[in-house]
Amino acid sequence: MARKNRRKLVVSGAEQGVKALKADVMLKEGYQVDPNRPDDVKYEVAKTLGVPLKAGDNGNLTTESAGHVGGRIGGPMVREMIRLAQEQLAKQPRP
């Protein structure tokens, strides 16, 4: 049985921004991304890693394999968020 994604973002309405960030970051990483369906990039990432990820039930997938796919997506996203935060902090006037 496939689990539903139950993660909720703290800021309501931020879903579109996170999806846009994912699409932008993964394009920069060299993956083909449909801006309307950025979550589908996980299938392309899985393919490049040799992970048999498919739509629907992936109960046969190991935690390690799923982590490799998620890390290849989440790592660059976190690095980009840190870069953006540092950029904003650098622009703030110092007291």
Interatomic CA distance for residues 26 and 77, integer angstroms = 8
CA distance 63 to 71: 12
- Establish if 4 belongs to a structural domain: no
Residue 10, domain member (yes or no): no
pTM tops 0.85:
no
Q: Which domain holds residue 30?
A: 15-91
Q: pLDDT band for position 1 (50/70/90)?
A: very low
Q: Mapped to the 3 state alphabet, what secondary structure does 15-60 carry?
A: HHHHHHHHHHHHHHCCCCCCCCCHHHHHHHHHHHHCCCCCCCCCCC
Quick: pLDDT tens for 58-83: 989 999 999 999 999 999 999 999 99
Q: Could you give the number of structural domains in the chain?
A: 1
